[in-house]
Structure 1
């Protein structure tokens, strides 16, 4: 978008069709009430909302897919450790100690939605660790799929890790040139596997 005179905003002509398509889809899901946006400000808010949402959705059993696309944070400062007043610079250097964000996948799989189809992501910067760490997460938490990706190539390729297999999903040069998002290949694959999960469960 471009900022014009008198405070007006105008969509760049080259992007107008794409923006129109996005806006139409957004308006459609709002109209159909198929998109629920939950705001949160802290890690504690997020974990509370996630637990509440999954417990409500647990009634859907195997028909619900939980797509946990990214960790909100790996570390945080608990409220009880937050200073009440401004930290004075006169005290010198500051040492900051953070706590690890509680691991929620295990209780989610075991207690909140034991019948649900759960997908998590594993982001790494070292390609030699990606598959092993993704498989370790799958074995540790007992959910259905880990999608592994590397920071450098996360928008072009991912690795699906399941209990029985591992395979790559990758954009072609033509798809990259046409600005296709990697999600356009991830989502149909997940839908297919979720359908298989539902059939197997029933």
Structure 2
């Protein structure tokens, strides 16, 4: 962070936002933003309590299940899209739509379809994470060096052997990049899902 041409330490912006939060909270501009000091004091007071542990375990469960579903479904779908032109043309527009759409607006629909419990939160988490995993898996397969494909064919490798021993590993960096971004988006998804369901 730079101020008037001077480089400030990396934590400076975080400290400034904390000070601003505290000031706005003390001025009581809005009731939804209490002072940061009170928020931290309340946080430390509830850590370790049965209510906190129960809420944390529920959040962790929804997050892990959502990320797992995103990976288990997203990577194979992305790989199939990268290998099949028909599937790519069929699914790519929908993947792009859901990736760019405001998924928060879909949470009320999920509540109606799946209820107000854990299932809706897990599905919300999955929807936030899965699309970028699909796109990156697709991109990883589509950018595999053609020479690797020709080498596998020249050695008579079966499609399964070629995929498991060559294609998957060549596409792995892109796949892992998608998983990393998907995990970040899943954090947002599980928080939004729990917030909206708790309001209802």
Give your verdict on TM over 0.5. no
Q: Which has the higher strand share?
A: 1
| Shorter-normalised TM range | under 0.3
Higher Rg of the two aligned structures: 2
TM-score by length of 2: 0.27
Q: Which has the higher contact order (CA 8 A, sep 6+)?
A: 2
Q: Which has the higher helix share?
A: 2
